[in-house]
Amino acid sequence: MERVTVDQWKEIFAETGLSDDDMRKWHQVFEKKHPEGHQNFLEWLGVEKSRIKEIRQNLN
């Protein structure tokens, strides 16, 4: 299975018109509504566990 990188994902968001603030809001909503799914998504992107913890803590 091909893995999409974080940078590629950000590029997709940017191409659809999302600003950095929009991307942050997307993550906040994802975390709030589906915390386990958000965790799985970040792992799928290949984000290291320590960074995932940091990302999720900073969204609250």
Which pLDDT score, from 0 to 100, does residue 30 have? 96
Structural domain includes residue 53: yes
d(CA 42, CA 46): 7
- Structural domain tally of the chain? 1
Which pLDDT score, from 0 to 100, does residue 9 have? 92
> Please, what sign has the CA dihedral across residues 21, 54, 52, 35?
negative
d(CA 17, CA 36): 27
Confidence of residue 2 (pLDDT cuts 50, 70, 90): confident
- The pLDDT tens digits of the residues spanning 23-56 come to 999 999 999 999 999 999 999 999 999 999 999 9
Structural domain includes residue 1: no
Tokens encoding 38: 């958000």
Domain containing residue 54 = 6-58
pTM for the full predicted model = 0.83
Burial class (CB in 10 A: 0-12, 13-18, 19+), 38: buried
Structural domain includes residue 12: yes
